[in-house]
Amino acid sequence: MEFFKKLFCRKNKVEVPANVRKLIDALGGINNVLAYNNCVSRLRYDVKDMSLINKDELINLGFKYVIYFEGQNHVQIVYGVGVEEFNKLVKDSVPTLKAEYEKEMKKNRHQKIAQVVEQSKKEEEEAEIPNLRRVKAPTSGRVITLKELNDGVFSEGMVGEGAAIIMEGEDVNGFINIVAPFDGTITMLPANKNQFILKGDFGAEIVVLIGLDSYKLNGIGFKDALPLNSKVLAGEKIMSVNLRKMKEENLDTHLVIAATGDSQYKKLKDLRPEASISHTFMKLEKI
């Protein structure tokens, strides 16, 4: 069966013509083009970001007349006779170009994660710097700033400085583990288990929120949680979370971590773009 799957995939893979590839590159790449339409003489494409379009390259490719609709994120390219056939070539090439893009993004992410892990290992061999504490990632995923979270609370600095991790890497049953970012005591853990406060032995205190709207689950999918007032070591499992269920319920999948007002360590430092569970992904400075 696997042989026939591979054979089927090979036969259905579209070879992307060079002129199509160059056009898409000039339009900012396959991830920048949203819609591929045409009329009797023009290609009519919607894009995410007009600034990514290489206007000079479009001219070099022979497209002398290009109309840009800046406010609508839309571009029209005068093609002439054969526009429908050419646009079909472009649309047929989209799956292959997207697959190439995703493969490259995955490769780049793996490289970034490997760099984060390697850097974290080196730091673990070094002594702690006074007034600066390492914070290990409670889970794995891509890291964003709280500003990018745009939730109106964490993003506005109403809690404290920190970051968010887009959770990923669930096991065959859909679960991920949440581990302690540093040595400390769990001083707050509500009945629905969707958040906790960890007070560090060295004076830091953080709040960890597992999904902005995960309270809607009423604790379903949060299991094996350690009890309130438990003492934990950095990297020790605090609970398991059913990430698959959160996705199925269309709930937010950001793990948010922020310093509290009572923390002696409040200043975010050295935030990394990727988080690998139990490895340092940011630091907090004492102020």
Q: Which residues are catalytic?
A: 39
Q: Which string of DSSP letters, residue by residue, matches 151-219?
A: -SSTTTTSS-SEEEEEE----TTSEEEEE-SSSEEEEE--TT-SEEEEEETTS-EEEEEESTTGGGGTT
User: How far is residue 184's CA from residue 198's CA, in Å, rounded to a whole number?
Assistant: 6
Do 180 and 226 contact (CB within 8 A), yes or no?
no
Which value, to the nearest 10 degrees, does the dihedral of the CA atoms of residues 56, 61, 64, 67 take? -70
Do 171 and 181 contact (CB within 8 A), yes or no?
no
Do 66 and 21 contact (CB within 8 A), yes or no?
no
